[in-house]
Chain A
Amino acid sequence: MIFHSPQRTMIFISAKNNLMKTTIYAMIALLLPLLLSAQRDIATSQSSAGIKMLSVNSTWTNIKIVNWAGNEVKVEGQVSINNGLNDDAYEYTLEKRGDVLLFESEIPDLDDLPRFVTYEQDGQKIQRLVDKDQGWSSNDLWRENGIAQISIGPIIEVELTFYIPQDLSLQVHQVHGDVQMDNVLNEMDINTKHGHVEAIFSNDIPEHCKISSTHNFVDVSVSNKEKLDLILRTNHGDIYSDLNLNYNRARCSDEMYNSKIVASVNQGGGAELALTSTHGNIYLRGK
Chain B
Amino acid sequence: MKIYTLILATFITVPLMGQFKINQSSGKISFYEVNAVSFEGHSGSEILISPEDDDFEKPERAEGLKLISPAGIVDNSGIGLSVVTEGSETAVHQISSRSDTRYTVKVPAGVSIYYECTTHAGRTVMVQDLASELEISANFNSVELERVSGPLAISTVHGSIEADFTEISQDNSISLHSVHNHVDVSVPSDAKASFRLNTSWGEMFTDLDLDYGQRDDLRQISSKKIAGKFNGGGVDFSLTSTHDDIYLRKK
**Which residues does A use to contact B, with CB under 8 Å?**
217, 219, 236, 238-242, 245, 247, 249, 252-254, 256-257, 259-261, 281, 283-285
Contact B68 A240 (CB under 8 A): yes
Among A252, A254, A257, which residue has the most Cβ atoms of chain B within 10 A?
A254
Contact A239 B67 (CB under 8 A): yes
Please give me the residue from chain A that is nearest to B80 by CB atom: A238
Contact A283 B70 (CB under 8 A): no
Task: List chain B residues, Cβ under 8 A from A236.
Answer: 98
Q: Does B200 contact A (CB under 8 A)?
A: no
Please give me the residue from chain A that is nearest to B96 by CB atom: A238
How many residues of B are counted as interface, with CB atoms below 8 angstroms from the partner's CB atoms? 19
Contact B70 A259 (CB under 8 A): yes
Interface secondary structure of A, over-half rule: strand
Task: List chain A residues, Cβ under 8 A from B121.
Answer: 256
B67 to chain A, nearest CB (A): 6
Please give me the residue from chain A that is nearest to B59 by CB atom: A281
Contact B68 A281 (CB under 8 A): no
Among B66, B68, B96, B99, which residue has the most Cβ atoms of chain A within 10 A?
B68
A253 to B70, CA, bound (A): 6
Please give me the residue from chain B that is nearest to A196 by CB atom: B61
Task: List chain B residues, Cβ under 8 A from A219.
Answer: 61
Task: List chain A residues, Cβ under 8 A from B64.
Answer: 242, 285
Residue from B61, B62, B97 within 8 A of A254 (CB atoms): B97
A281 to B72, CA, bound (A): 17
Contact A256 B65 (CB under 8 A): no
Contact A281 B61 (CB under 8 A): yes
Contact B66 A241 (CB under 8 A): yes
Asked if A254 meets B70 with Cβ closer than 8 Å, knowing A238-B96, A259-B97, A281-B59, the reply is: yes
